[in-house]
Amino acid sequence: MSKKAARTKRERDPAASRQRLIDATVRLMLRQGFAGTSVDMICQEAGMTKGGFFHHFENKESLALAAVEWWGRMGTAQYAEAWKDETLDPLAQLHRMLDIMAGFTRRPGVHCTCMVGMMSQELAATSPALRSACEKELTLWTTHAAKMLSAAKKKHRPRAKFDPVQVAWFLNSLWQGSMLVGKTCRSQEMIRHNLKLARSYVDGLFEKP
């Protein structure tokens, strides 16, 4: 029957099922961490059974890995808005990136927090695979920031003494720490203050004495 065929066609969608599991994992682990989230919870949240789960993923860790990678892709896509316009002044690109970060603190009902920071804080010492995946994401972000800093330096103050890569790690650390402290103190405003100070710090790098 046509109805039956249509129904089953929509229900059997392995890519969507897989993604549903990833989405559920991100939602739950962002709240409860890795060890605090059980496979049963994930299955329930994703509307799937354990059998289905282990068809798509070898184990819980490999799902977390996929979730971190997905988180990284989503994040990069959002940050890309800052650097995709290559005609824009690199310093303006940096400010655009800080705008995007500040935007993350303004979504109503969603607290600004990072899957990479959470997974890494919890699992860096016990899961080499997760640690390495998180390192990859952090490094990617830093590389992009360093490129903009480097271009801005070349354009605005080539004789400045800072190392773009070091400054990029500095900014990344500040960003991760801001989300951590902001969550702990339940203050998105503090995150924004930090970003504002970061802004003037970056500007200061290019000011001629």
Binding site for DNA (CB under 7 A): 4-5, 8-9, 11-14, 17-18, 37-41, 47-52, 54-56, 59-61
**The two structure tokens encoding residue 202:** 């970056």
Using CB under 8 A, which residues numbered 93 to 132 contact its own copies?
Answer: 111, 116-118, 120-126, 131
**Using the rule CB under 8 A, is 69 a contact of its own copies?**
no
Kindly state the smallest distance separating residue 28's Cβ from its own copies, in Å. Answer: 11
Cα gap 131→120, rounded to integer Å: 6
Nearest to 59 by CA among 72, 50, 70, 69: 50
Cα gap 124→137, rounded to integer Å: 13
Cβ nearer to DNA, comparing 51 with 158: 51
Question: Which residue type, as a one-letter code, is found at position 152?
Answer: A
Residue 184: name its binding partner from its own copies, DNA, none (Cβ under 5 to 8 Å by kind). its own copies
**Using the rule CB under 8 A, is 206 a contact of its own copies?**
no
Q: 3-class DSSP state for residue 6?
A: helix
Kindly state the smallest distance separating residue 171's Cβ from DNA, in Å. Answer: 35
36-63 in b/e form (b: 16+ CB < 10 A) is ebebeebbebbebeeebbeebbeebeeb
Residue 126: name its binding partner from DNA, its own copies, none (Cβ under 5 to 8 Å by kind). its own copies
Asked if residue 148 lies in contact with residue 85, where contact means CB atoms within 8 angstroms, the answer is no
Kindly state the smallest distance separating residue 1's Cβ from its own copies, in Å. Answer: 46
- The pair phi, psi for residue 89, each rounded to 5°, is -60, 130
**Using the rule CB under 8 A, is 181 a contact of its own copies?**
yes
Kindly state the smallest distance separating residue 208's Cβ from DNA, in Å. Answer: 56
Residue 1: name its binding partner from DNA, its own copies, none (Cβ under 5 to 8 Å by kind). none
Nearest to 113 by CA among 47, 186, 55, 193: 186
Using CB under 8 A, list all residues that contact its own copies. Answer: 30-36, 111, 116-118, 120-126, 131, 134-135, 138-139, 162, 166-167, 169-170, 172-178, 180-186, 190, 193-194, 197-198, 201, 204
